[in-house]
């Protein structure tokens, strides 16, 4: 079965399309370093497992840079710079 066949089958099974997922949900599906950092940033910025709106904008505007009173140890590796 080719990738095009897999895509056609998936589209038949999911006519509504894929639901947007937030970083916490992606981390539960794919336990990688990158997804863990994204989930940490998402949670730190007030995101929950249910919310899915504005992740990029919130994380990009992270106020916890290295020269702040409470620097984040993962700020250098944050996603959506």
Q: Give pLDDT tens digits for 42-78.
A: 888 887 777 767 777 777 888 887 788 888 888 887 7
Model-wide pTM > 0.85: no
* 10 lies in some domain: no
* 3 lies in some domain: no
* 2 lies in some domain: no
pLDDT at 23 over 80: yes
Contacts of residue 34, Cβ cutoff 8 Å, sequence gap at least 6: 79
Q: How many domains does the chain have?
A: 1
- pLDDT one-digit tens code per residue, 31-50: 898 888 888 888 888 877 77
Q: Which domain holds residue 39?
A: 20-77
Q: What is the mean pLDDT of residues 11-38?
A: 81
Confidence of residue 4 (pLDDT cuts 50, 70, 90): very high
Residue that is written with structure tokens 């994380």 in the block? 59
* 73 lies in some domain: yes
* 11 lies in some domain: no
Cβ-based neighbour number of residue 22 at 10 Å: 20
């Amino acid at each position: 079965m080719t990738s095009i066949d897999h895509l056609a089958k998936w589209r038949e099974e999911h006519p509504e399309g894929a639901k947007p997922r937030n970083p916490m949900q992606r981390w539960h599906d794919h336990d990688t370093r990158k997804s863990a950092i994204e989930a940490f940033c998402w949670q730190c910025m007030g995101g929950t497992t249910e919310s899915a709106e504005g992740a990029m904008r919130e994380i990009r505007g992270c106020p916890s840079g290295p020269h702040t009173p409470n620097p984040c140890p993962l700020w250098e590796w944050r996603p959506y710079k």
